[in-house]
Amino acid sequence: MANDGSTRHLISLDDLDDGTLRDIVERGAAHARRAGGPASTASSRPAGTPGATLAGTVVGIYFRRTSTRTRTAFTSGALRLGAGVIAYGPGDLQLNTGESSDDTGRVLSGMLDVLVARTADDPTEMRVWARQHRMAVVNAMSADEHPTQALADLTTLTLRFGSVDGLRVLYVGEGNNTASALTRGLSRYPGVHLELRTPPGYGLAPEVHRRAAATAARGAVVRERHDLAELPKDVDVVYTTRWQTTGTSKPDADWREVFAPFQVTAEVMALAPRAVFMHDLPAHRGEEVSAEVLDGPTAIAFDQAENKMYSAMAVLEWCRGTY
Ligand code: CP
């Protein structure tokens, strides 16, 4: 396994410069177009199978939390590009018996080329694993950010609208790790207007706003409120996420009452008749979104899910420098 000092980690979207962010999104969209899917966003005919750009690569997939989409996306994407895959469940590594994160990163870096990990914990641990220069580390969800979800979402928007530039997006729901990544990603595109409506006490971390303001593209605007008054009209996208990320509950016993007004309903969608509805899934119909909206004609949530695989392929290729 090469040690050429060019190892590329993806632990936060903040790790990517604007050009790299766009390149990965465009590459993911190209994979989707070539594969001919998803049906409602791909505009061209399928043009064959992907090349074996990851032949000889070994990818470790370590998920300490549940996952249907992200784990499968990276596994299937790696296999389709010719890589080998080793999967670790939550109890498999000696981390569980007290081996240090530093030692774990050092050991795995001698055997893996890429480690895709979901911890849903503080991202510091992933940064420790990344203290070596042979194995790329990819954050498949930490407590503060879900960067590969945002890359898949930006890929979906690119396929749907042709460009992310200038899009108007309304996010309704918790300021969770998906919202954090979406904010970090969308604000890097010129002219994007992102309006967030988050329940009181469940907004974006101030650091996310600070970072977005510092790195915003020309004309990009991020605004957050904690009520549903004065919802923006004529947005291109309405986006929400599950209220209990990875199934975890909240310390506040009354949290459901606080969240209840933030359901995306047909009434919310009616304010923006041209908008598509996006959801990172999994969904709870009747909580963050009504069944009518999620299963209705404006929803592209299941396209997002499929695009996670094409986007994962682009992420892995970027990590390995193979495109
Ligand atoms: N959206 C998402 O991350 O889905 P999974 O939790 O199923 O991976």
The best mutation among 155, 294, 308, 311 to test binding of ligand 1, ranked by most ligand atoms within 8 Å of the C-beta, falls on 308
What is the structure's pLDDT at 274? Answer: 95
CA 86 to ligand 1 center in whole angstroms: 19
What is the structure's pLDDT at 104? Answer: 98
Rounded to 5, what percent of the chain is helix, strand, coil?
A: 40, 15, 45
What tokens appear for 5 in the block? 């000092």
CATH entry 2.30.30.90 includes domain 149-304: no
CA 73 to ligand 1 center in whole angstroms: 9
Phi, psi of 17 (to 5 degrees): -75, 170
CA 150 to ligand 1 center in whole angstroms: 12
pLDDT in tens, the chain (323 residues): 344 557 999 999 999 999 999 999 999 999 999 999 886 555 555 556 788 999 999 999 999 999 999 999 999 999 999 999 999 999 999 999 999 999 999 999 999 999 999 998 999 999 999 999 999 999 999 999 999 999 999 999 999 999 999 999 999 999 999 999 999 999 999 999 999 999 999 999 999 999 999 999 999 999 999 999 999 999 999 999 999 876 677 889 999 999 999 999 999 999 999 999 999 999 999 999 999 999 999 999 999 999 999 999 999 999 999 98
Q: pTM for the full model?
A: 0.95
CATH 3.40.50.1370 segments of the chain: 13-145+308-320, 149-304
The answer to whether the CB of 153 is under 6 A from ligand 1 is no
* H helical segments located in the chain: 18-35, 69-80, 101-108, 124-129, 147-161, 177-186, 206-215, 255-259, 266-270, 291-294, 301-320
The answer to whether the CB of 70 is under 6 A from ligand 1 is yes
CA atoms of 139 and 54, how far apart (whole Å):
19
CA atoms of 200 and 262, how far apart (whole Å):
11
Q: Which atom of ligand 1 is nearest to the CA of 118?
A: 8
DSSP state of 214: H
- What top-level class would CATH report for the domain 13-145+308-320? alpha beta
